[in-house]
A and B are shown apart, each in its own frame.
Chain A
């Protein structure tokens, strides 16, 4: 009987996706285009935050949006109404956007003319956390009605992002939400992430969000 060999691998699962993501990131950087990946549960305010961001930045930043809403063009249509280009990704019911899907969608954009591409990922706090899309900036939105305990329940997504946006702060008066403990949990998982508190419907807190974003464009 042949001897069993133990072969050391030590490679990340999904390393193929990671390699493609790295090359997308490098290609976009060469074109001085920044890719922002926005993640959250369904309904936390991804589209609302994107619309607010377009409103505040489209005068000075040239941008486009890639929408990955499941089998619907509702969000893409809302973005297109603002005059900003919106591309619908075909996720085929997939639970997250991966680098290959992003590459295909981005090929439809005139990347050299763009400063910022915003990706609205599929509404889900688990799967998008594990698939690098090639984004330079990863942001997770949590909304007040979802509860302050979410970071500890979905630690992987909070651990990997550059910024955490707490949306729907207009609900703070009526919802039992402990802001201090929420941010404490976020810090425990991710000491480096930037923190924002906003209300996309009221328009509160958005100025510091767009300033942060502007400061990170390449």
Chain B
């Protein structure tokens, strides 16, 4: 993964947002990341610490909220979690249907931040 460019993007976004909300220090940043996006949280924090050094986001903590992958069955409407690493078939646990599609797990956004 490309944690460095991802981290730069996060930093730019929170700094912009801070400027429009008249705060002076960013304390915590919450990300929502689907488990299918193999983002390494430790690297994000590591790069963030380096990149944010001389900004109002210095020392901010990044919290990654993982979203499980989820499929929806188009036959019966069931929404079910599925660990894609351990299955070889995508079938609905309720009706055994195969007409299912991925509806969650690829989220990749900055939810909010705590600042003073």
Contact = CB atoms under 8 A, between A and B. Distances in A.
A4 B21 contact: no
Contacts of A189: 101-102
B29 to A, nearest CB: 8
A16 B17 CA distance: 14
A184 B98 CA distance: 8
Interface residues of A, number: 38
B85 A7 contact: no
Interface stretch (A150-158, A162-170, A195-203, A206-214): A150-158
A152 B89 CA distance: 9
B110 A10 contact: yes
B112 A13 contact: no
B79 interface: no
The secondary structure that dominates the B interface is mixed
A11 interface: yes
* Most chain A CB neighbours (cut-off 10 Å) among B1, B5, B10, B114: B5
B109 to A, nearest CB: 5
* Most chain A CB neighbours (cut-off 10 Å) among B2, B9, B31, B116: B2
B108 interface: yes
A16 B115 CA distance: 22
B36 A17 contact: no
Nearest to B29: A9
Contact of B116 (A3, A9, A130, A155): A3
B108 A10 contact: no
Given A181-B88, A184-B90, A11 B69 contact: no
A98 interface: yes
List the 10 closest pairs (A to B, CB-CB), nearest first: A188-B90, A2-B116, A9-B110, A152-B84, A8-B112, A12-B109, A14-B9, A189-B102, A155-B36, A4-B114
Interface of B: 1-2, 5-6, 9-10, 12-14, 17-18, 21, 23, 27, 31, 33, 36-38, 69, 71, 84-85, 87-90, 98, 100-102, 105-106, 108-116
Given A5-B21, A7-B112, A14-B9, 12 more contacts: A4-B114, A8-B112, A9-B111, A12-B108, A13-B6, A13-B13, A16-B13, A94-B2, A152-B85, A184-B98, A188-B90, A190-B101
